[in-house]
Chains A and B, each alone.
Chain A
Amino acid sequence: MKVIRDLFRDYRFVVSFLVLTVLVGLVVLSAFSPYDPSRWLQTPKDLPPSQEHLLGTDSKGQDVFWQATFAVRNSLLIAIIAAGLSRVIALLIGLVAGYRGGGWDKFFMFITDSFLVMPLFLFIVLLAMLLKDRLSLVTLGLLLGVFGWAWDARVIRSQVLSLREREFTKTAVLSGTKTLSLVVKEYIPHVTPIVFTTLINNMSWVIGMEITLAILGLLNMDIPTLGVMLQWAISYQAMLLGYWWWYLTPTVLAVLLFVALYWLSVSISEYLDPRTRIQRVGMG
């Protein structure tokens, strides 16, 4: 309880929490959508926002607002799966390789480098082409997660390498602290800011990747995600025809999503780091 109260003292946490609640609200609303998101001609085309259609309609004959609820839901799903999977992998590998060193380090770095070396984009495109039929949201999330950890694993590992040589590590080892508790209690808070930054990087990379794949025509265009929605708007020249409600919606939503996540991560990581917490919250 106290934790939550302390967190709420940070205005950034408050704002991001609110924004995320709204977005999650949209996700929940998607279950009540009166329109089928994969069907065309459900409404008249290209209407600007009005009472009946809060965010107007697009050139496919769909209501932009209800489309957006599905888009947010699907994009979040992909991003969570992808970023989650890749954080877990990156953290595990980075920590173990950095701390254990020796054979473990060599082995893990070998795998990491193999992944880093592959022209990421090329292989994602190749695999997306191969899986095109079975490229559901979950599969896409897993695919992007599997490719997104290598970079950050190295970063985490280098951070751990630095930490390992610091005074407090030597102190802890001398005083008999077990490896696991050392890692968990002491390193993770140091590593957390990096993990959170990279989480945000990763989620925005995932969404960017998803949009790129959509623009290249490799995603299933019937399943609305932020990227797919944007791609429809781009292909149908929404910008040049002045249908601002159609292309601004996924853009603004993406921006909001990112800002919320970023502020959330910054405030949480500042909270977790004992020194900054004291600076912010006081000794109480």
Chain B
Amino acid sequence: MNMRWRILGIAFLGITILTIPVFSQLAPSLPRSETLIVDQLTGRTGAPDNFNEWVGWKWRDRGMQQLMNEPLWSIDFATGEIINGLAATLPEYNGDFTQVTIRLREGVYWSDGVPITADDVVFTIELIKSTPGMNYQAPLESNVNKAYAVDEHTVVIELKQPNSRFHTYFLDRWGCLWIMPKHVFKTVTDPLTFQFNPPVSSGPYVLHSYDPSGYWTVWERREDWDRTPTGILFGMPKPKYVVFRAYGDPASKVLGMLRHELDSADLTAEALKAVLAQGRTVRAYQPSFPWVVNSDPCITGLTFNTMKPPYDNPEVRWALVLAIDIVNYESIAVDGMAPVSPLHIPYLPGYAALFFEPMEEWLKEFTLDLGGGETFKPYDPEVPFKLAELARSRGYAVPETPEDIKTAFGPGWWKYAPDVAEKLLTKNGFYRDEAGRWHLPDGSLWKIRVLGRSDLSHLSTRNSIAAAQLWKEFGIAAEAVLSVDFSSLGLTGEFEVTTDWPAFEPWGAGPDLYRTLSPFHSENVAPLGETTPGHVSRWSSPVMDQLIDQLETTDPTNVGATAAVGIESLKVLIQDMPSIPTFNYTGFVAWDEYYWTNWPGIENPYAQPYVHWGPFKYMLPFLNPTGR
């Protein structure tokens, strides 16, 4: 009996003692009102002591690409602008694109006081080019002949062959080749294992401290922030400290935000709903339904392995497109919150004028030949209104005007036409049995395994679940296979249908679709059994090859010509349909306005809204502290 009371007594005492110290999550030296806490998208950092992002994967969204490194140029896809960072102007190519001149911004210093000069750029290029194993070694080796400094702020790079897009290696769209501090790296014996700890910043923040287990990283504003491009262009970044935190799962992020311990979080559809319902100071990117960041420059969907029958037949692929009711598909995948896109590029504000509107007529007139003289026009511009109806039936407040509906839900998609799909399939020898199940021409039951990631919150997984459900309804024995080997299987071609990006995302701004199209070039396609360097669909076509070659020799600054080639290639992609783009990648971003306001929401898109990409540093001068 005594023991029991003793134990209870100790426990009670323990709890009382433990609740006395500091209540907040921050160490006493970090004042909350001057600290911005954001979540780390890629999760816990695996190599926390290592800040050398030029080798391998280093969880650089822990602040490295956003705060520590200033690239030569960045793209802000929300405004559609290219922002000059360490460079003062856009790159200057000579007439035949064999030489590029880069002029650096003046008055920019590393965080340890050394000025950033052309020597750093030349050193970076030469070191990487001569060290196999570094991320950009191979492209630099195959492209660069010579790099040299003309003066302190001018670099000239001579290329081995014409390449009008060489500078894009240095363009931070989603990561890029950053510039190394020569004075640090030149004394390093093995750059591959060098930890670069403590790191030297070119951006406006320096490393303050980090968790040895990788759960958080704290950055402190540089005293000489005005000697960085961010400071020069936009002013003083308002938060004195920025903390990147990794959480175990979305539910913890929600709880963190509700406790005002997290100011920005990238969640899932349901977690976003939960935090908006329960948080009084929480807002999303859009103030009302569908709340999501609909201007993300990535497109999600389904990708066929076009080297495996029957997916090598474009008519079979089209039949599978028409077997999908996109309204139900969206309901399953994201509860109707994402904008759809019929093209292999996302429906971005910048692309509406360049691609979607010029192609509207062509899309409406696009015809499939069903054989026997029958034709069918598959484009359905009514899809956004049907999606709006779905949202209304779920009780959400839906925008009213057609313009707003299209912005929220996309311009249109393909019709749900199972009867036409049937015609296309029977034309190619497929048939249904008495139970309604589809069989391949060789008689066996048609089974489709749709590969997805094992993480249920990832949009590729949601796509695979939705596709499997819809094709099941159509009568095909489809199942979603959620695998942890998603990447390996995709790269080696061991799949039939996967949910990897239907096309690589373009720059997010400007008419140049080279990044999207070049992976489809036949020289980048490997036979089955080998890892393929290009797009995992392993699709190519002579027409597309020609267009890509044409694009390579078109001057990217000639908007009209570049866009025209882009439009032709998008048409080819639609005709062949090697992959099915479904909906934009949607960011389920939530912001807590308890400590910081003036976030770049849809009504005020002064910068891109994500915290895990480089241009985050350009958002910081505009945030306002509430002073709590």
CA distance A240 to B483 in the complex (A): 27
Within B439-457, which residues are at the interface with A (CB < 8 Å)? 454-457
CA distance A221 to B273 in the complex (A): 23
Counting chain B CB atoms within 10 Å of each CB, the highest count among A41, A129, A132, A237 belongs to: A237
Establish whether residues A237 and B469, one from each chain, have CB atoms under 8 Å apart when the complex forms.
no
Cβ–Cβ < 8 Å partners of B454 in chain A: 216-218
Closest 4 CB pairs of A and B: A217-B454, A240-B274, A237-B270, A235-B456
Task: Give 24 A-B contacts (CB < 8 Å), ordered by A residue.
Answer: A39-B469, A39-B472, A39-B473, A40-B332, A40-B465, A41-B332, A41-B469, A45-B394, A59-B270, A61-B331, A129-B484, A132-B481, A217-B456, A218-B484, A221-B465, A222-B480, A237-B251, A237-B271, A237-B274, A240-B271, A240-B274, A240-B275, A241-B270, A241-B277
B310 CB within 8 Å of chain A: no
Cβ–Cβ < 8 Å partners of B465 in chain A: 40, 221
CA distance A283 to B277 in the complex (A): 64
A129-B484, A217-B455, A222-B479 known; A239-B251 Cβ under 8 A: yes
A133 CB within 8 Å of chain B: yes
Establish whether residues A132 and B270, one from each chain, have CB atoms under 8 Å apart when the complex forms.
no
Cβ–Cβ < 8 Å partners of B598 in chain A: none
A234 CB within 8 Å of chain B: yes
CA distance A45 to B336 in the complex (A): 12
B328 CB within 8 Å of chain A: yes
CA distance A221 to B251 in the complex (A): 20
Establish whether residues A237 and B331, one from each chain, have CB atoms under 8 Å apart when the complex forms.
no
Known A39-B473, A240-B254; 11 more pairs at CB < 8 Å: A40-B469, A45-B335, A217-B482, A218-B454, A218-B484, A221-B465, A234-B251, A235-B268, A235-B457, A240-B251, A241-B273
Q: Which range contains the number of A residues in contact with the other chain?
A: 20 to 34
Chain B residue with minimal CB distance to A46?
B394
Chain B residue with minimal CB distance to A59?
B270
Chain B residue with minimal CB distance to A237?
B270
B625 CB within 8 Å of chain A: no
A236 CB within 8 Å of chain B: yes
Cβ–Cβ < 8 Å partners of A221 in chain B: 456, 465, 480, 482
Q: How many A-B residue pairs have CB under 8 A?
A: 62
B278 CB within 8 Å of chain A: yes
* Chain B: minimal CB distance from A190 (Å): 30
CA distance A231 to B461 in the complex (A): 15
Q: Which range contains the number of B residues in contact with the other chain?
A: 20 to 34
* Chain B: minimal CB distance from A168 (Å): 34
CA distance A227 to B114 in the complex (A): 57
CA distance A240 to B257 in the complex (A): 13
Cβ–Cβ < 8 Å partners of A239 in chain B: 251
B214 CB within 8 Å of chain A: no
Cβ–Cβ < 8 Å partners of B115 in chain A: none
Within B271-314, which residues are at the interface with A (CB < 8 Å)? 271, 273-275, 277-278
B250 CB within 8 Å of chain A: yes
Within B331-345, which residues are at the interface with A (CB < 8 Å)? 331-332, 335
Chain B residue with minimal CB distance to A232?
B456
Cβ–Cβ < 8 Å partners of B268 in chain A: 235, 237
Cβ–Cβ < 8 Å partners of B275 in chain A: 240
Establish whether residues A237 and B254, one from each chain, have CB atoms under 8 Å apart when the complex forms.
yes
Within A32-58, which residues are at the interface with B (CB < 8 Å)? 39-41, 45
Within A187-236, which residues are at the interface with B (CB < 8 Å)? 216-218, 221-222, 231, 234-236
* Chain A: minimal CB distance from B262 (Å): 14
Cβ–Cβ < 8 Å partners of B479 in chain A: 222
Establish whether residues B484 and A217, one from each chain, have CB atoms under 8 Å apart when the complex forms.
yes
CA distance A159 to B273 in the complex (A): 55
Chain B residue with minimal CB distance to A239?
B251
CA distance A108 to B248 in the complex (A): 41
Establish whether residues A236 and B270, one from each chain, have CB atoms under 8 Å apart when the complex forms.
yes
Cβ–Cβ < 8 Å partners of A132 in chain B: 481, 483
Chain B residue with minimal CB distance to A234?
B251
CA distance A54 to B485 in the complex (A): 39
Cβ–Cβ < 8 Å partners of A237 in chain B: 250-251, 254, 268, 270-271, 273-274
CA distance A61 to B332 in the complex (A): 9
**A-facing mask of B313-332, CB < 8 A → 1, else 0?**
00000000000000010011
* Chain A: minimal CB distance from B461 (Å): 9
CA distance A237 to B484 in the complex (A): 22
CA distance A278 to B273 in the complex (A): 60
CA distance A228 to B250 in the complex (A): 18
* Chain B: minimal CB distance from A60 (Å): 8
Cβ–Cβ < 8 Å partners of B469 in chain A: 39-41
A40-B332, A218-B454, A235-B456 known; A133-B481 Cβ under 8 A: yes
CA distance A132 to B480 in the complex (A): 12
CA distance A40 to B473 in the complex (A): 10
Cβ–Cβ < 8 Å partners of A60 in chain B: 332
CA distance A216 to B482 in the complex (A): 11
CA distance A133 to B495 in the complex (A): 13
Cβ–Cβ < 8 Å partners of A234 in chain B: 251
Cβ–Cβ < 8 Å partners of A45 in chain B: 335, 394
Cβ–Cβ < 8 Å partners of A241 in chain B: 270, 273-274, 277
Cβ–Cβ < 8 Å partners of A222 in chain B: 479-480
**B-facing mask of A89-114, CB < 8 A → 1, else 0?**
00000000000000000000000000
CA distance A41 to B466 in the complex (A): 11
Cβ–Cβ < 8 Å partners of A236 in chain B: 270
Cβ–Cβ < 8 Å partners of A61 in chain B: 331
CA distance A45 to B396 in the complex (A): 13
CA distance A223 to B483 in the complex (A): 16
Cβ–Cβ < 8 Å partners of A129 in chain B: 484-485
* Chain A: minimal CB distance from B131 (Å): 34
Chain A residue with minimal CB distance to B466?
A40
Within B243-277, which residues are at the interface with A (CB < 8 Å)? 250-251, 254-255, 268, 270-271, 273-275, 277
CA distance A14 to B277 in the complex (A): 45
CA distance A107 to B465 in the complex (A): 48
CA distance A222 to B480 in the complex (A): 8
Chain B residue with minimal CB distance to A231?
B456
Cβ–Cβ < 8 Å partners of A231 in chain B: 456
Cβ–Cβ < 8 Å partners of A217 in chain B: 454-456, 482, 484
